[in-house]
Amino acid sequence: MLTDRETYRQAVISLYLRLPHTPPRLSRFDLRLLDQLWQRQIPLTVIETAFLLASARRAARPINAPPLGPIRSLHYFLPIVEELRVHPLPQSYVAYLRSKVAPRPAGGHIPTMG
């Protein structure tokens, strides 16, 4: 677990902004949630795994299923964070998810909204 709050925030923001189907910046509500996650001492690995798992689940939907809208908030991942706290995934599966989820190129995004 990162001990510096700002380092934690920037790590989560960086991971979030590189995900497919996420907005190019976080809202003030997302930033508030980031502070809550920090205060609850949610490990960065759990958050990253939630991002990967949600992205993989979205990508694995049947081709004939109705399309999903874009992810509009960091709050979208909160149920999966809670799921992973109860049922953590094996590290080998997390590595597999990393290999399957194509990150959006970093750069060109403003990480926060005022």
Provide the pLDDT for residue 111.
Answer: 40
| Distance of alpha carbon 84 from the chain centroid | 12
Euclidean distance between CA atoms 16 and 48, whole angstroms = 8
Provide the pLDDT for residue 108.
Answer: 42
Helix locations, 1-114, DSSP H:
5-17, 28-39, 44-59, 78-86, 91-100
Task: Determine phi and psi for 74, rounding to 5 degrees.
Answer: -60, -25
| Distance of alpha carbon 66 from the chain centroid | 23
Provide the pLDDT for residue 73.
Answer: 94
pTM, two decimal places: 0.83
Q: Comparing C-alpha atoms, which of 18, 11, 28 is closest to residue 73?
A: 28
pLDDT along the chain (114 residues), means of 10: 80 91 90 95 95 91 90 95 96 90 58 38
